Structure 1
């Protein structure tokens, strides 16, 4: 169905090809998952299939890409529209009409399909993607995840033979992501649709793939194979694979179910290693001291807490100290009986929330629950309908922007909203000036979070994850006491996410309060001290991370599902416990 023949792509002024040596075939009716670190050319390779590369993006395409027998060099994207449906990383750039129903119909109108066929397919797609209640809504009023589903639906209605999807679940909550992936699987299995998708959240998608295509580094030849074979050598892999590597399981499990079946011995080792529930909640698993009373795995009382704490791994000491600050720290942000209306929708209702210095709080909930609305209210972009918001002594919507950035900073879902300069260097210089920071402050942050990015590159030429990281550095330059992040791991690979987590931990340790709205349950497990779940604009859960996510089938991380009923959250926690027991 898709044939790559010695394909390489080189952009203007680039010293080397972005992708090179691609020579392979994607068979009809298979789901092929494209993986690799950020910036290796995944989006470029997807663009060669739809014809966007080079017809829209520019650059030089060498070799040959054919889709259903059509050469993408000689067929422009509009001439491939009946066989290839494409959804990019940014759904807003995809939309042509104003309402959900019109957007779903637009592609079919362009192909000249009969009205009765269009009506039937629109209804089918509304049901498939859970969009029926939104059919008359203006697209501009939808949440990011809802927009993502509409973008996917708009390319499904023409019934293309090939679907090309770039980060299709990046803005979706776990339940919505499962629904979308189930739809893609049905299209593959029942209709023979060929699906080529790139995704960083491998924990969501690897089990659905027939084959995995790995781009190991920029310009390197790709590796195509079965998911288990590729995950065994890939530099990026989901937590279930990380746990399998740690435990030495062969072959590596790709699903929670497969891992649970093999985790009996590991659970026994962890039970001996220490108190599992305490370890997961930030109180470390500690081996019983010689001569201590009590059963194996209980925390010893023979040694003072302070002495034991000095032997904890760094990440446990940081989480413990942050929990102490949460109990004793000062409030950075407070909302009381907060309500916000957006048009005719009551987006927030009766929200009482307190965020303290040094605390990292994860806002979670389904798409449209009010997470982004709450962040926008905290940063002063929205005015409360009732209730109040305070940042120290400041009221956000009544505070001048130049003063407000010294209290709070927001990294939005769309980083381009913050980026306006022509180069990375100019963007950083502007951030230093606005924040009153020493020259070079922002650029140093970019170098830490995003190694290898040149000063003269235009922000639009960065990948989605790289743009988000640049926006984060711009906001962090002002060192606001309260940092707000809306889907901060969208477009980030595991290595980039690990660097982000390390930096955010350092900020929390220095006393900054961090609130992140996220669908990334693995990020919440790794970073958050506290989780707040919103539903229909109301707070329905608020508590320590382990207490909230372990009890939730939707928001529990993979390690928790595998090792339940023990309350471990991350592979790092399991590794620390096993190392401590060795």
Structure 2
């Protein structure tokens, strides 16, 4: 079978870098495969993907040695526009690449550039809208879409051109679990039915590992990548989904890649199905923020409908729900950035929408969906120093927080040159240095690997223990299982669930973490819960 992508002794240095981002890449991906690209945050996954369409080095600069051939074309001799007919690319931040005004126009734009006949273009637009369940969005302005909806539009635009190879960089990171399943189902149909080759980089491996034909591990630090069967690669990888971590804990060989496989193997384990939840809820303090009868709109579109919510010191609350349910709007109201149509918001006894921004910033910290909006300096070390001065903390505090979240971020790097996960960690460190009483996080683990998420969870738990409140909007059910005391679920702008995390996550087919699905009805949410349960039961 002919390879669609072939790297031959490839290495790559970014301008000014002290060591190569990629080194000794010598492998090939055959046609018709879904290849999962994995690795730690900042390991070079995105760089490897960009070599496929020539963005590295044509758009980035730097030195590329060796040869990359895509669909038989040497990327050194073909710029990205010369490969657009055979490679469809969806970047980490798809909204940055939008060129049209509406959903339908964006899906058609790539085909217009390729000279696709109008009648064929119209048919493909309709087929793509149906494939991704987006027909009702066709006329919507791109600026009016949620982050998850924008990502689905970018996927649709890449699908519609029908390239031989799709390159997807974190395609489900901004999607709720049901929407992610829809997208991955569409990807599988392209692979299985149409023979499309897909290179897919993803940190939320629990969503995609079971579908991948192979896995490509990018280890970082200039070490050569490895390519092999998904189970074999994940068995030894430094990043792995919960079912693989469970397999390692219980010495399952080969490792489980799906909940179904793990559930069958776990049926013989002595896990106490009637045990109480293993996580002990932290004692809640006083009310830090509250909403009463909160309604909000974006133009004619209702976003919140009569929301009542209390947030207490000493707790971490996960705010979940489908894309477009109103989660980010609720965060904006609590931060004083969006004035509600009716109802009342109180944070630390005052209305944030009526206070000066400097006064609100002392008590409320918001990390938005695009964390780079908070980063103003031209170097990481200068950003950290400015954050220390602004927060009035000892020099080096922000840098220490950043190193705890994501180690080895170069101080001389420009914040906007960092990976998506590193930028997020940078924004988190800047806000955590101020230690606001209420911390609002919009998708705080997008682009972070499992170890980085575990470290972030530790930081959030320590903040809660220090009499602060954390409200995080997330589609990451595994993070919610790790860190949340409560889970609040929004649907169509209304609160439909407000319950302790163990009860809320275990009861929801859509939002249950992998371990909960494996051991249902036992109230176990994480691999650590299983470890404690088995040890406590004498296993």
The reply on whether 1:279 has 2:277 as its aligned counterpart is yes
CA distance in 1, matches of 2:322, 2:62: 39
1:578 Cα deviation from its structure 2 partner:
2.0
1:394 Cα deviation from its structure 2 partner:
1.7
CA distance in 2, matches of 1:270, 1:68: 50
1:279 Cα deviation from its structure 2 partner:
2.7
1:447 Cα deviation from its structure 2 partner:
2.3
Give me the CA root mean square deviation. 1.1
Name which of 200, 222, 226 aligns with 2:203: 200
The reply on whether 1:399 has 2:355 as its aligned counterpart is yes
Name which of 373, 397, 417 aligns with 2:329: 373
Name which of 549, 554, 569 aligns with 2:510: 554
Q: Is the 2:21–2:220 Cα contact (8 Å) retained in structure 1?
A: no
User: TM-score under structure 1 normalisation?
Assistant: 0.90
Unaligned runs of 5+ in 2: none
Question: What residue is the counterpart of 1:309 in the other structure?
Answer: none
Matched residue SS, 1:265 = coil
1:551 Cα deviation from its structure 2 partner:
1.2
Matched residue SS, 2:268 = helix
CA distance in 1, matches of 2:392, 2:350: 20
CA distance in 1, matches of 2:127, 2:221: 40
Matched residue SS, 2:517 = helix
1:232 Cα deviation from its structure 2 partner:
1.1
The reply on whether 1:235 has 2:238 as its aligned counterpart is yes
1:430 Cα deviation from its structure 2 partner:
2.0
Q: Is the 1:39–1:218 Cα contact (8 Å) retained in structure 2?
A: no
1:511 Cα deviation from its structure 2 partner:
1.0
Matched residue SS, 1:534 = strand
Q: Deviations over 1:390-439 (max 9, x none)?
A: 00222111111111111110111111111111001111222223333333
1:56-455 to 2 correspondence within 5 Å? Answer: 56-266=59-269, 269-271=270-272, 276=275, 278-280=276-278, 282=279, 319-320=280-281, 322=282, 324-325=283-284, 329-455=285-411
The reply on whether 1:471 has 2:474 as its aligned counterpart is no
CA distance in 1, matches of 2:48, 2:71: 17
Matched residue SS, 2:8 = strand
Structure of larger gyration radius = 1
Question: What residue is the counterpart of 1:41 in the other structure?
Answer: 44
1:275 Cα deviation from its structure 2 partner:
5.1
1:562 Cα deviation from its structure 2 partner:
0.5
1:444 Cα deviation from its structure 2 partner:
2.3
Unaligned runs of 5+ in 1: 283-318
Matched residue SS, 1:253 = coil
User: TM-score under structure 2 normalisation?
Assistant: 0.98
The reply on whether 1:30 has 2:33 as its aligned counterpart is yes
Matched residue SS, 1:380 = coil
Matched residue SS, 1:566 = coil
Q: Is the 2:25–2:225 Cα contact (8 Å) retained in structure 1?
A: yes
